[in-house]
Amino acid sequence: MTAVFLFLLVFALLVLRQSVILILIVAAAYVHFFYGDAELTYLIDDIWTAVNRDVLLAVPMFILAGSIMTRGSISRRLIDIVRELTQWLPGGLAVATILSCAVFAAISGSSPVTLLAVGSILYPALLEHGYDKKFALGALASAGTLGIVIPPSIPLIFYAIVTENSISDLFLAGIIPGLILTFVLSLYSLIVNRHIAPIPFDVTTLAAALRNGIFAMLAPIILLGGIYSGYFSATEAAGVAVGYALIIELLIYRALKPADLFDLCVETARLLGTILPILAVASSINILLTVEQVPQNFAAWMSTVVSSKLAFLIVLNLFLLLVGCLIDIVSAILMLAPILLPVAAAYGINPIHFGIIMVVNLEIGYITPPIGLNLIVAMTAFKEKFLLICRSVLPFIALMIFVLILVVWVPGLSLVLLDG
């Protein structure tokens, strides 16, 4: 019952909208008091163990690489290519919006940044070409979340770290669900905007976009190709991404100056300053809970309450959708993945598949009213009423929940590339 009370305590603090670090401090105090004999040295040792991992180097480097590409011109050139390839279709600019968000989010690793960057370019263009304002707002707010599951994904890296799974396997597992999400949102965008006249196809403009973006297109190919061909690990891939982005932006495109790198490094350090303390304290809690077999005991208790795998999956998804509305995805993963994974394993759920389920659920939380982060960002960026934005995302939430159901009930969508 001690473990159950801890779970209920954390959930209550989440509902009360307390800060993540406060929740973790309370949980750490609780765990170390009941399970660690109140020894401060245990906490210090666990924190050091949490941050003394080579794989953690991938996180700041991927973040820095995304910042370089976002601040520079790589991301913009990719958006230009996607736009030229699709805008000749009826409603093609809507498809270009979804695809551009997917590409940009995968590069930047940030849903709000994607919403702001792509929205600043394509939101005025959508309105200018006759697209409904509500659709434009919903598409940008929703599609900005796609980079959370499409590799290289920072949340998947953190899931791999706290659950000790392979980053490469999780990246592979996220490809098909990410592509299905992108396809479903693109198809919906095409259908509801089929009455919009296309922008005439111009082979000269497309050729110019391809010529200007050739080095930008090579970035994801080199990055993911190197990982899955075995030439370098995910951590090494992050270093390659930083080096490639610097060469392209400083020497070839010259969209950045050496002086800009200081600001980019400071931004990366600030972001890490919010993530690493959460990782350290959460890992301390998880290490002690694992030693005391608390997750296993919680799994045994859960099996007596929820007898079937189907019922567990329903409860799990409802819980994760709620959590995604309350806290950011990285914090949710660091706090909950080590506790929930043993429970999922008790019901025969593959840990890689569970990671994708968790990330897709939390991804939907970014646009779930009334407190989804992307809703607030969209309201601020586009200066529209919050209620209008909430209504605009409802069709996209329904589509994303449909894809979530597919991912949950068809594990092969996540695991087929691993099996191959």
Q: For 52-166, where are the alpha helices, taking DSSP H only?
A: 58-71, 74-86, 92-108, 111-128, 133-143, 154-163
Q: Is the dihedral of CA 130, 133, 137, 143 positive or negative?
A: negative
**Helix axes of 203-212 and 74-86: crossing angle, nearest 10 degrees:** 160
Q: In the chain, pLDDT over 70 holds for what percent of residues?
A: 83
Q: Is residue 156 over pLDDT 60?
A: yes
Which residues have a Cβ under 8 Å from the Cβ of 343 and sit 6 or more positions away? 295, 298, 299, 302, 312
Which residues have a Cβ under 8 Å from the Cβ of 273 and sit 6 or more positions away? none
pLDDT in tens, 89-109: 888 888 888 988 888 777 766
Dist CA 345 CA 3 (whole Å): 18
**Helix axes of 111-128 and 92-108: crossing angle, nearest 10 degrees:** 160
Q: Is residue 414 over pLDDT 80?
A: yes
Dist CA 386 CA 397 (whole Å): 16
What was the pLDDT predicted at 234?
Answer: 76
What was the pLDDT predicted at 407?
Answer: 93
Task: Specify the higher pLDDT residue, 156 or 287.
Answer: 156
Dist CA 312 CA 320 (whole Å): 12
∠ CA 334-336-340, nearest 5°, is 135
pTM, entire model: 0.81
pLDDT band at residue 420 using 50, 70 and 90 as cut-offs:
low
Neighbouring CB atoms inside 10 A of 203's CB total 8
Dist CA 145 CA 377 (whole Å): 12
Q: Please check whether residue 164 is in contact with residue 68, taking contact to mean a CB–CB distance below 8 angstroms.
A: no
Smallest CA-to-CA distance from 388 within 404, 403, 375, 377 is with 375
∠ CA 360-362-216, nearest 5°, is 60
Dist CA 159 CA 167 (whole Å): 8
pLDDT band at residue 260 using 50, 70 and 90 as cut-offs:
confident
Q: What is the mean pLDDT of residues 233-262?
A: 86
Q: Please check whether residue 369 is in contact with residue 398, taking contact to mean a CB–CB distance below 8 angstroms.
A: no
Residue type present at position 4? V
Q: What is the mean pLDDT of residues 34-45?
A: 63
**How is residue 68 written in tokens?**
């370089």
